[in-house]
Amino acid sequence: MSKDKILIIGGGVTGLTCAIELEKKGYSPVIVDANNEVGGRLYSELIDGFVLDKGFQVLLTAYPAVKEYLDVSALDLNYFSPGAAIFKQASVNVFGDPVRNTSFLLPLLRFPHASLADKFKVWRLSNQLKRESLEQIFEKPATSTLAYLRKKGFSEQVIECFFRPFYAGIFLEKELNTSSRMFEFVFKMFAEGYATVPAAGIQQIALQLKGALSRTTFKLGQPVQSVEDNHVVLDDGTRLDFDKLIMATNHGDDLQEKDSSAWQACWNLYFETDELHLDPRLIGLNANGSGLINNFSFMLSDSGSIGISVTVVQDYLGESTELASLIEEELWTVYGINAKRLIKAYHIPYALPKHEDCTYLPSIEDMQQSSNVIVCGDSLANSSLNAAMLSGALAAKLV
């Protein structure tokens, strides 16, 4: 067993996956994190019987890292249907994949916001990307997602009514400036698998990874004050020596002021309501081109009470109570949904690293900060749980 001291700063999925691979190599790493539990940006809490995730996040079952590192059956996943409910003006129409759910066939044929040519192009793109490897996708020249969709010949109507609100909820930006490589990657993952959430919350992913570790020491609730040549100093003055330091915090964001321009921001609000207006397995999309709400979905508490999760894809600068009032009004006047009370509002200023260009894996040059310091995280590759886990695994290989 190696005697080298390996210190990992960051207890998110990147740091945890790194520790799993280090244990396979015989190391006994130490993970330090300022939070009291592992997970990083994957955070869940139970309030009034509702499982609330900090940010509407899903786990795509087709991610290669999911197949390699997670026990999907043990996560007790709730599956979303391979489609969405499109809200435009006074109408609601379902747009989905009839290949994986035949109940979507008739609604797809009747869907008014896409031409027959649009529907054929979606089917053709799905088949094309299923045949392409991830390496092929990330080696292509990149444009913006919006330019890509227009070049593929999709109508402005289907772009505005489906692609823009759906992918704005994933990329957390409405302009669709995100790299076309990222679009193709996500499209392929949706076509080959399902969007899911663990029944007990998205943080269960990190907790499962933690449970796979047997020789890793955790120092949680311990903010790092400074990093020196061969040791770190915690806020309480504790000194931790290392031979190798792995910064699993997206360039050491917890050690310095974050650059907000490099991150996408959003709000996620949860309300209790009195009626299910939509199957909880379907995501509702705002295709009106106006309003604060981008997407929403319904949920049930452990006692059967009904809740709704709302995502606002912009960094609203007012108070959470002001935003909640505006969302309550919009839910009622636009969608006829009565938000009886606010359960919780999350402001997430650093929700996703921006990627107008992206790669599948980070480069060794970007990761190897010095002879004994390695950085990793999804900001070095692409904004996904897959990239977060695989970058951690790659960091372990560099030790």
Full set of structural domains in the chain with CATH: 6-42+202-259+356-397 (3.50.50.60)
356 or 350, higher pLDDT? 350
Residue found under tokens 């921001």: 265
Q: What is the arithmetic mean of pLDDT over 355-380?
A: 93
Half-sphere exposure of 41 (CA within 13 A, CB side): 29
**Tokens standing for 352?**
């996703």
**Tokens standing for 339?**
């938000």
Alpha-carbon distance 25 to 157, whole Å?
Answer: 53
Residue 382: per-residue pLDDT: 95
Residue 354: per-residue pLDDT: 86
Note whether 88 and 149 are within 8 A (CB). Answer: no
pLDDT at 2 over 60: no
% of the chain exceeding 70 in pLDDT: 97
**Tokens standing for 260?**
């907000």
80-132 pLDDT, tens digit per residue, is: 999 999 999 989 999 999 999 999 999 999 999 999 999 999 999 999 999 99
Containing 397, the helix (H) or strand (E) segment is: helix 385-397
Alpha-carbon distance 3 to 25, whole Å?
Answer: 12
Containing 123, the helix (H) or strand (E) segment is: helix 116-131
Residue 340: per-residue pLDDT: 94
253 or 327, higher pLDDT? 327
Q: What is the arithmetic mean of pLDDT over 206-213?
A: 98
Angle at 120 between CA 295 and CA 177, to 5 degrees: 45
Residue 104: per-residue pLDDT: 95
Note whether 93 and 113 are within 8 A (CB). Answer: yes
206 phi and psi angles, rounded to 5 deg: -65, -40
3-class state of residue 214 by DSSP: coil
255 or 348, higher pLDDT? 348
Residue 257: per-residue pLDDT: 53
The full 3-state SS of 1-70, as one line of letters, equals CCCCCEEEECCCHHHHHHHHHHHHCCCCCEEEECCCCCCCCCCEEEECCEEEECCCCCEECCCHHHHHHC
Half-sphere exposure of 36 (CA within 13 A, CB side): 2
Half-sphere exposure of 38 (CA within 13 A, CB side): 28
3-class state of residue 251 by DSSP: coil
N-terminal to C-terminal alpha carbon distance within the chain = 14
Residue 27: per-residue pLDDT: 97
Extended beta strands in 168-241, E state? 195-198, 217-220, 224-227, 231-234, 239-241
181-199 pLDDT, tens digit per residue, is: 999 999 999 999 999 999 9
pLDDT at 270 over 80: yes
pLDDT at 69 over 80: yes
Note whether 369 and 5 are within 8 A (CB). Answer: no
Q: Distance from CA of residue 294 to its chain's centroid?
A: 16
344 phi and psi angles, rounded to 5 deg: -165, 150
Residue 230: per-residue pLDDT: 93
24-34 pLDDT, tens digit per residue, is: 999 999 999 99
Q: What is the arithmetic mean of pLDDT over 358-378?
A: 95
CA-nearest of 233, 229, 224, 254 to 244 is: 229
pLDDT at 210 over 60: yes
pLDDT band at residue 253 under the 50/70/90 scheme: very low
Note whether 214 and 23 are within 8 A (CB). Answer: yes
pLDDT at 254 over 60: no
% of the chain exceeding 90 in pLDDT: 92
**Tokens standing for 136?**
């092929």
144-192 pLDDT, tens digit per residue, is: 999 999 999 999 999 999 999 999 999 999 999 999 999 999 999 999 9
**How is residue 362 annotated by DSSP?**
-
pLDDT at 8 over 70: yes
Q: What is the arithmetic mean of pLDDT over 311-334?
A: 95
pLDDT at 1 over 70: no
